[in-house]
């Protein structure tokens, strides 16, 4: 019988201190997330220095809880996995140093994981039948990537954002209409009461790069619209702005993704990252996939935003492929997908 592979995974790339115990890549024995959102809310966004300090304060507690909930002792683990990029360098370093310390003390293999590979792998957790090849749209606060997953750990990036990430645009627009940080879930909520056709915001297409994205134009258009209303002494309806902005973003995400589905003739399409929990995006993608007889995969919201379970899922396939990092593993804030 094949031996179970049990991995302790750590994620500290941004403002979530997270640890999880994952068995055979797809079985989540525990998934502990300490969110720092309440701390950063006061400043309207993530403050890197505060994030690193909080990670240091919380990391041991979060790992202890993950092991306890899983009923797993350190001696029962097969490897330690950690996000080593991309992300905030000081925040990443906390997880990397912690993972190295445990791996060294317990003489366990160390596996560094790319954060986006983690987001993509979140889809494996609840869909045991999902196997590469498939297409995946990764939409988060820091990234917007359209990726062809050729095999486990093998990625072709078809398109990416030229400027703001989708989540970043959501957060900036939310701030402009007075909703606070993080804006994505708040826009999602109030957009349900607004008219998506009320205001026509631009949809950017990049000549010669059909799969690339650009969200700075739609963001500026929203800011200009609000300024214009204020200068004329007119009031504006935040729900209409939210719904119209969201429609502009979702239309582009769906359109570019479906071009790829058609070109790559794939019957499997997945979404991942914080914005993948957006209700309008999920609904539109589902419909577009159905129209093309393509199976649509999406993680539960808890596996869309940053978590360590997804890092454990990715690490399992890296483990099988023989990926092992040395004690010189460092945080790489701008790590490219597919790099080692």
Q: Report the interface residues with Zn ion, using CB under 5 A.
A: 140, 306
The secondary structure of residue 2, as a DSSP letter, is P
171 makes contact, choosing from ligand KG4, Zn ion, none, with CB < 5 to 8 Å by partner type, with ligand KG4
> Under the criterion CB under 6 A, does residue 275 sit at the interface with ligand KG4?
yes
Query: Segment 233-262, which members bind ligand KG4 (CB under 6 A)?
Result: none
Strand order in the sheet with 6-11: 27-35, 16-23, 6-11, 79-85, 110-114
109 makes contact, choosing from ligand KG4, Zn ion, none, with CB < 5 to 8 Å by partner type, with none
| The dihedral formed by the CA atoms of 228, 166, 334 and 24, expressed in degrees to the nearest 10 | 160
278 makes contact, choosing from Zn ion, ligand KG4, none, with CB < 5 to 8 Å by partner type, with ligand KG4
Shortest Å distance, C-beta 175 to Zn ion: 20
Among 25, 153, 182, 312, binds ligand KG4 (CB under 6 A): 182
Among 109, 167, 194, 312, binds ligand KG4 (CB under 6 A): 167
Give me Rg for the CA atoms of the chain. 20
* Residue 111, strand partner residues: 81
> Under the criterion CB under 6 A, does residue 188 sit at the interface with ligand KG4?
yes
Q: How far is CA 274 from the centre of its chain?
A: 5
Among 142, 153, 159, 238, binds ligand KG4 (CB under 6 A): 142
| C-beta closer to Zn ion: residue 170 or 201 | 170
Strand order in the sheet with 154-160: 154-160, 144-151, 134-139, 268-272, 295-297
Cα–Cα distance between 258 and 269 in angstroms, integer?
9
Among 90, 184, 194, 299, binds ligand KG4 (CB under 6 A): 184
182 makes contact, choosing from Zn ion, ligand KG4, none, with CB < 5 to 8 Å by partner type, with ligand KG4
> Under the criterion CB under 6 A, does residue 92 sit at the interface with ligand KG4?
no
Shortest Å distance, C-beta 90 to Zn ion: 16
Shortest Å distance, C-beta 170 to ligand KG4: 5
Closest alpha carbon to 117 in 305, 340, 337 = 337
Query: Segment 304-323, which members bind ligand KG4 (CB under 6 A)?
Result: 305-306
Q: Reply yes or no: is the peptide bond before residue 86 cis, omega within 30 of 0.
A: yes
Shortest Å distance, C-beta 110 to Zn ion: 21
DSSP string, 110-141: EEEEEHHHHHHHHHHHH-TT--SSEEEEEE-S
C-beta atoms surrounding 287 within 10 Å = 11
> Under the criterion CB under 6 A, does residue 144 sit at the interface with ligand KG4?
no
Shortest Å distance, C-beta 248 to ligand KG4: 13
Cα–Cα distance between 326 and 111 in angstroms, integer?
9
> Under the criterion CB under 6 A, does residue 85 sit at the interface with ligand KG4?
no
Tokens 């590979």 belong to residue: 117
Among 95, 109, 183, 194, binds ligand KG4 (CB under 6 A): 183
Could you list the residues that contact ligand KG4 (CB under 6 A)? 14, 140-142, 167, 170-171, 182-185, 188, 273-275, 277-278, 305-306
């Amino acid at each position: 019988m094949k031996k179970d592979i049990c991995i302790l995974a750590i994620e500290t790339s941004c403002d979530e201190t997270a640890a999880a115990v994952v068995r055979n890549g797809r079985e989540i024995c525990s998934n502990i997330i300490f969110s720092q959102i309440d701390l950063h809310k006061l400043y309207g966004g993530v403050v890197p220095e505060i994030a690193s300090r909080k990670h240091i304060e919380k990391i041991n507690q979060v790992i202890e809880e993950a092991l306890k909930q899983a009923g797993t002792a350190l001696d029962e683990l097969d490897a330690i996995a950690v996000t080593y990029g991309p992300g905030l360098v000081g925040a990443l370093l906390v997880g990397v140093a912690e993972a190295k310390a445990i791996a060294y003390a317990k003489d366990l293999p160390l596996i560094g994981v790319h954060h986006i590979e983690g987001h993509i792998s979140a889809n494996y957790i609840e869909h045991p039948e999902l196997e590469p090849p498939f297409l995946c749209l990764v939409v988060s606060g820091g990234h917007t990537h359209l990726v062809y997953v050729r095999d486990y750990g093998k990625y072709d990036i078809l398109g990416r954002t030229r400027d703001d990430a989708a989540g970043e645009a959501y957060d900036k627009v939310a701030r402009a209409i007075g909703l606070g940080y993080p804006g994505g879930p708040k826009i999602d909520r109030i957009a349900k009461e607004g008219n998506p056709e009320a205001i026509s915001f631009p949809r950017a297409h990049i000549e010669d790069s059909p799969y690339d994205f650009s969200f700075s134009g739609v963001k500026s258009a929203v800011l200009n619209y609000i300024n214009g209303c204020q200068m004329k002494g007119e009031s504006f309806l935040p729900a209409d702005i939210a719904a119209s902005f969201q429609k502009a973003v979702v239309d582009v995400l769906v359109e570019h993704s479906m071009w790829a589905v058609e070109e790559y003739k794939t019957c499997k399409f997945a979404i991942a990252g914080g914005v993948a929990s957006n209700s309008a995006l999920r609904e539109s993608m589902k419909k577009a996939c159905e129209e093309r007889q393509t199976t649509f995969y999406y993680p539960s919201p808890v596996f869309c935003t940053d978590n360590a379970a997804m890092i454990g899922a990715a690490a399992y396939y890296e483990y099988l492929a023989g990926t092992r990092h040395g004690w010189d593993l460092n945080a790489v804030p701008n790590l490219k997908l597919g790099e080692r």
